[in-house]
Amino acid sequence: MTAVTKRARLPLAVLIVLSGVGCDQATKQLAVQQLRGTPPLSFMQDIVRLQYAENQGAFLGLGNSLSPEVRFWLLTVATAVLLLGLAIFLIVQWKMPRLSFIALSCVLAGGLGNMIDRLVHDGRVIDFLNLGLGSLRTGIFNIADIAITGGVVLLWIASLRADPQPTEP
């Protein structure tokens, strides 16, 4: 696998992060304007639903039952520190395989998109997408969640493609 060159890493990361955050925030703004206070909209024989939700927890509402103080420290402060660490890692670790670099940039984009929501919407994240067949449905999620999940999947694929490390006898 080829590494992202030192010269190309920053523009590539900026492009991925700005595109991801921009798409995420634009779709969330549309969800607020068009979906808040309305019944869910159904498409493709109810495979896709657009349904407004505000999530105080993490992915799919995990942590909703935590106290507001714990949610703030865990989902805002700790996540901000992790995102800062990830951004620094992407900048200084330039000998990373291209797929891993893209994957981690996607995770950063999604994390920043949801972090913006937490800061602007009093600790809540705007969600609006729901997929499923019949009674088998996902939770309600957003574009940032897709970026994070896609980045993790790409990172997993990159790890499968990586050259195995030789073992010491």
Place of tokens 């549309």: 30
> Taking a C-beta distance cutoff of 8 angstroms, is the pair 138, 124 a contact?
no
Q: Are strands 48-55 and 41-43 parallel, antiparallel or unpaired?
A: antiparallel
State whether residue 167 is helix, strand or coil: coil
Q: Are 91 and 14 in contact (CB under 8 A)?
A: no
The set of catalytic residues is: 127, 145
Residue 105: C-alpha distances to residues 25, 46, 144, 166 (Å): 17, 32, 12, 28
Per the DSSP assignment, residues forming a β-bridge with 3 are 97
